[in-house]
Amino acid sequence: MKEKKMRLVIDQSTSGTKLLLVRNGNILKRYDKTHQQLHPESGWVEQDALEIWDNVKGLIDLAMTTNKLDSTMIASLSITNQRETIIAWDKETGLPLYNAIVWQCNRSQDICKRLISQGKEAVINSKTGLKLDPYFSGTKIKWLFENVPIIAEKSTAGKLALGTVDSWLIWNLTQGKVFATDTTNACRTLLFDINELRWDEELLEMFGATRSDLPDVKESSTIFGYYKGVKIQGVMADSQAALVGQKCTQYGEVKLTLGTGASVLMQMDGNGFIRDTQVMTTIAHANQGKVDYAMEGIIRSCADSINWFQKQITTFSDIDHACNLVLETRSNEEVYFIPALQGLASPFWTNNATGLFVGMKLTSNRRDLLRAILESIVFQVKSIIDVMEEVADKKIKCIKVDGGVTKNHQLMKMLATILGKEIIINNVEELSAIGVYSIVEKVTETITLNQSIIDPINNSVFQEKAALIHRFESWKKLISRFEEKEDK
């Protein structure tokens, strides 16, 4: 078979950037670069947009130089990215006007409360499918307009660019020639009508932006421009790209990505008319005039909780080994963890909640605390799946899982058991990159997925299942206390 050209795939995530070199459906090389997480105030999360761009450019240059490639040898460059993180920059200088405000950031809580008190949440939900929450870009945009004077000045002068990370990268890759995003990123901003597939004037006014501040919206498989002669084609938000990578195309098929946070996406039937305040409706993908929708539940702290515990509280010599070991070992302790390091998202939406260990005794140790953190991941997923089945009135048969946390085999067994569902684990980490790669024009080959299946353990074999359900119900009661407190 004639050897095909190389393809580059950028996976720009919350913690860093990956660059994949792909040919004939095979991932030949992977290059990684992390970036700083900035916390200027409690609950605030920022990143340096220039550092992100420098890392992306540096990885491309490294891959090209190391493999002795030139632009004629590259068929395409694709992008998948962290979603709701927002960047503001000057259209003339191309320089950021403020640090990137990350999806995890909770600084816009008061803005959300103000808009909710004004009765705005219903119209936002009906048009965007999302909840009025600091998680999404629109509230961060409004914060910028209200707190950073130069933002409004540049907007009035027609010199402001507001975009998610994909827009920022496309702008820099094309040297400012293209200001664009795709539908899967646009639909996460609170400014995009997922029914009409356009920026909505009412929503723009609500959050302070104007149409000229925002990128053009294109289908994911569009050619977005060129980088040194290489076409930029295939742009998708990371969670939706993973849905494509997992080949979840039929109604009721579910993928779960367990990364820094976590995203549960269920492919929907029809035109995405389901609206619910516990979970969201979002655009799954839009290509060749066809739009698919998905129901989504999001978790703010997944691996993030494990990393926090390892870095800030106590250190294990091998954290991955420790995570598996604590679940293999029986414990009589009943310690619970409320994973609200940045508040709680679906289906609870309690932004004022804080992280908390409950039930510690003199006999409790760090392994019990780590076990509680791991159980909280499973409990959050179950809470979302339960709501999804109720809202969609459909029983979910199996869940396709990807992400770094899947390395914990014991945790995956626990997840299968508490859900009573088959868990299909994709041991290939780059599911988002695979998804966006697969939508590029003329890509006919597929990347082979290394899958393993975990069946739920029957109660007659797994004697602790009843105890696990009991712990889940106790954990939910603890969560409900935060919900009651926030309602007052």
**What's the CATH code of the domain at 218?**
3.30.420.40
> Which tens digits make up the pLDDT trace of 135-145?
999 999 999 99
What's the pLDDT at 445?
Answer: 64
- Could you tell me the two tokens for 15? 């913690």
pLDDT reading at 247 higher than 80:
yes
pLDDT band at residue 474 under the 50/70/90 scheme: very high
What's the pLDDT at 433?
Answer: 86
Query: Does any domain span residue 258?
Result: no
State the chain's mean pLDDT as an integer. 89
Query: Does any domain span residue 116?
Result: yes
Q: Which domain holds residue 137?
A: 6-240
As a whole number, mean pLDDT of residues 323-342 equals: 86
What's the pLDDT at 1?
Answer: 42
Query: Does any domain span residue 253?
Result: no
Query: Does any domain span residue 320?
Result: no
As a whole number, mean pLDDT of residues 198-227 equals: 95
Between the CA atoms of 333, 339, 345 and 350, what dihedral angle is there, to the nearest 10 degrees?
A: 90
What's the pLDDT at 472?
Answer: 93
Other C-beta atoms within 10 Å of 429: how many? 18
> Which tens digits make up the pLDDT trace of 7-17?
999 999 988 99
User: CA geometry: angle at 25 spanning 20 and 26, to 5°?
Assistant: 55
What is the sign of the dihedral through the CA atoms of 72, 76, 82 and 83?
positive
pLDDT reading at 155 higher than 70:
yes
pLDDT band at residue 226 under the 50/70/90 scheme: very high
pLDDT band at residue 444 under the 50/70/90 scheme: low
pLDDT reading at 261 higher than 90:
no
**Range from 59-63, 70-74, 430-434 carrying the lowest mean pLDDT:** 430-434
Nearest in space to 80 (alpha carbons), one of 429, 415, 485, 456: 429
Provide the whole-model pTM. 0.88
**Range from 159-163, 182-186, 229-233, 255-259 carrying the lowest mean pLDDT:** 255-259
Nearest in space to 128 (alpha carbons), one of 238, 15, 244, 277: 277
As a whole number, mean pLDDT of residues 114-136 equals: 93
As a whole number, mean pLDDT of residues 167-176 equals: 97
What does the alpha-carbon distance between residue 456 and residue 437 come to, in Å, rounded to a whole number?
32
Parallel, antiparallel, or unpaired: how do β-strands 356-358 and 336-338 relate? antiparallel
Highest averaged pLDDT of the listed ranges 187-196, 262-271, 390-399? 187-196
pLDDT reading at 448 higher than 70:
no
Query: Does any domain span residue 308?
Result: no
| Phi, psi of 133, rounded to the nearest 5 degrees | -150, 150
Highest averaged pLDDT of the listed ranges 58-67, 265-274, 289-298, 420-429? 58-67
**Range from 147-151, 334-338, 462-466 carrying the lowest mean pLDDT:** 462-466
pLDDT reading at 487 higher than 70:
no
What does the alpha-carbon distance between residue 135 and residue 14 come to, in Å, rounded to a whole number?
13
What's the pLDDT at 31?
Answer: 95
What does the alpha-carbon distance between residue 383 and residue 124 come to, in Å, rounded to a whole number?
24
Q: State the total domains in the chain.
A: 1
What's the pLDDT at 463?
Answer: 62
* 57, 250, 308, 454, 457 from 285: Cα distances, Å: 27, 13, 33, 28, 35
Query: Does any domain span residue 212?
Result: yes
Query: Does any domain span residue 436?
Result: no
What's the pLDDT at 459?
Answer: 52
Between the CA atoms of 411, 391, 14 and 311, what dihedral angle is there, to the nearest 10 degrees?
A: -40
**Range from 143-157, 226-240, 321-335, 435-449 carrying the lowest mean pLDDT:** 435-449
What's the pLDDT at 461?
Answer: 47
Q: Is 246 in contact with 400 (CB distance < 8 Å)?
A: yes
pLDDT reading at 368 higher than 80:
yes
As a whole number, mean pLDDT of residues 308-324 equals: 87
Query: Does any domain span residue 449?
Result: no
What's the pLDDT at 66?
Answer: 93
